[in-house]
Structure 1
Amino acid sequence: MAGPTTAERGERQQESPDPPLARRLRPPKLRTIIILAVVLVLLGAGSVWLLYGSQWLRVERVSVSGTRVLTPEQVREAAAVPVGAPLISVGTDEIEARLRRKLPRIDAVDVVRSWPHGIALKVTERTPVLIVQKGGNFVEVDDEGVRFATVSEAPKGVPALELSVSRSSSAAASLRRFGEARLVREAVRVADAIPSAVARDTRTVKVRSYDDISLELSGGRIVAWGSGEKGAAKARTLTALMKASPDARHFDVSVPTAPASAGS
């Protein structure tokens, strides 16, 4: 009896699926799905317990860096980090807001979880560029015009800010137009622009109006600066003017393209 022809064998092979491929395409058994689901639930529950319920990942220490005037103890007290709480539950934004509110001297702070047991507080303090005398104390003003701290002793090398707005119509108009806060910011702009060699000798930044700001240097020398505009040009002009007239007592750079000096 003759066997199947070649054509018949080809047709049977096309009709028969590939057994290995069929096994690969079979859906997982219900038991396998249940086991995987149980494993995932256990892993999730274990992770939650590890982060919130165990004693392994809790706050044990609070480190402070970057302080200059403030002490680490002051920062820790103001931060009020909940020692013993789960590290994952500590609100870093809340700590930052609390530090800024309680310690205005802080300009910026980075609150970092230091796994497995720490909170790191990286502080940047404000730097005074001017001081305002208030009774027997001194108010520190930073480079943004923010009055951030009152101290009993004036910091060395920081000039005093003197707001001496006269009762003249122009000065009064300037005060009404710009306000005291704006005049303080203009004084800060001037203080930032003063050449470093001159800054060391600057004792007072005096503001009479928006465009009438002057510097009082050591030895009774006076610099008429004008407004806070064109600070870089005025700084260069003042440096050259003081070199050209080292014995002068009065310098005027309010118009940097037409400077003047006088006195000896």
Structure 2
Amino acid sequence: LGGFSAWALYGSNWLRVERVTVSGTDVLGADEVLDAARISEDVPMATVDTDAVEARLAAELPRIDSVDVDRVWPHRVEVTVTERRPAVLLRKGESFVEVDDGGVRFATVRTPPAKVPIVEMQVADSPSLDRFGRQRLRESAVRVAGALSESVRRDTRTILVRSYDSVTLELTGGRTVLWGSAERGAAKSKALAAVMKAERDARYFDVSVPSAPAASPS
């Protein structure tokens, strides 16, 4: 019985890979994922090392946030991908670097994706540059983006960093939000939602002190 089972798994034509499917992709193409996965067809299903395939995909395609590779007996291997989503964009010459909520830089694109804020750094004369360094100041912009509500993030065109304590959002419609530092992001997001609802015609909002938000026409 053991010998028959081993033969059925490894030696017969019954349980062999006939098809590999890919789901969950958006920017990535299915063919791109299949090329990186390198799962051969017409090999025994039992020989497909799903952990190795997952590790290979994560290493070769940085846009992938997570991936699951499953054997679907008797003849199919299913690759399910979750792609990283850009939280902010960093300028790099004429291109843009996509950065996710975790601060991971995962792709460089020529055309910026819609409704993703661009980080602008104006810290050359700021004491924060010497104290925190440019990388940590960029990370503060990512933290701010991660704290925004989905609606505000979609409307945010630029996250302007002048210092560690001075981050400003430039929104559609000529609106500006003084955010302050990246600290207390959840409280600031909640305060911004409240003051925007109360002052619908305002163009300037200050939530740097979330317990005392302010708004004005300009």
Question: Which residue is equivalent to 1:6?
Answer: none
Match for residue 203 of structure 1? 157
Question: How far 1:232 moved relative to its partner?
Answer: 2.1
- The structure carrying a bigger helix percent of its residues is 1
Residue of 241, 258, 263 corresponding to 2:195: 241
Partner of 1:131: 89
Matched residue of 1:156: which SS?
Answer: coil
Which residue number in structure 2 is paired with residue 220 of structure 1?
A: 174
SS of the equivalent of 1:200 reads helix
Contact 1:144 1:185 in 2 (8 A): no
Is 1:156 matched with 2:120? no
Cα gap change, 1:96/1:196 in structure 2, threshold over 3 Å: closer, same or farther?
Answer: closer
Residues 22-70 of structure 1, C-alpha deviations (whole Å, 9 max, x = no match): xxxxxxxxxxxxxxxxxxxxx1111111111111111111011111111
Question: 1:85-130, CA deviations, whole angstroms, 9 ceiling, x for partnerless residues?
Answer: 2111111111111111111111101010111111110111111111
Q: How far has the Cα of 1:198 moved from its partner? A: 2.7
Partner of 1:66: 24
**Superposition deviation, residue 247 in structure 1:** 4.1
With 89-98 and 234-243 compared, the bigger mean Cα shift is at 234-243
In structure 1, distance between residues paired with 2:45 and 2:89: 41
The count of corresponding residues between Structure 1 and Structure 2 is 218
Gaps in structure 1 of 5+ consecutive residues: 1-42
Q: Which moved more, 1:90-99 or 1:191-200?
A: 191-200
Percent sequence identity is: 56
Q: Which structure: greater strand fraction?
A: 2
| TM superposition score normalised by structure 1 | 0.76
Name stretches of at least 5 consecutive residues in structure 2 with no aligned partner: none
* 1:86 corresponds to: 44
- Alpha-carbon distance in 2 for matches of 1:53, 1:240: 66
Considering Cα pairs closer than 8 Å and 6+ residues apart, tell me whether 1 or 2 has the greater RCO: 2
1:263 deviation in Å?
4.8
**Residue 140 (structure 1) shift:** 1.1
1:163–1:207 CA contact under 8 A, matched in 2: yes
Q: SS of the residue aligned with 1:70?
A: coil
1-structure distance, mates of 2:121, 2:70: 42
State how far apart, in whole Å, the 2-side matches of 1:54 and 1:129 are. Answer: 49
**1:132 positional shift:** 1.4
Distance 1:150 1:253 in 2: 32
Q: Cα deviations across residues 172-230 of structure 1 (Å, max 9, x unaligned)?
A: 2122xxx60x3333222211222344333210112233322111112433211112222
* RMSD (Å), alpha carbons: 1.9
CA 55–164 in structure 1, closer or farther in 2 if over 3 Å, else same: same
> Partners in 1 of 2:53 and 2:151 — Cα distance?
41
Cα gap change, 1:109/1:197 in structure 2, threshold over 3 Å: closer, same or farther? closer
Map 1:93-172 → 2, pairs under 5 A: 93-172=51-130
Aligned to 1:32: none
For the residues of structure 2 that align with 1:197 and 1:66, how far apart are their CA atoms?
24
Shift of 1:80: 0.4
User: What is the CA–CA distance in structure 1 between the aligned matches of 2:197 and 2:70, rounded to whole Å?
Assistant: 50
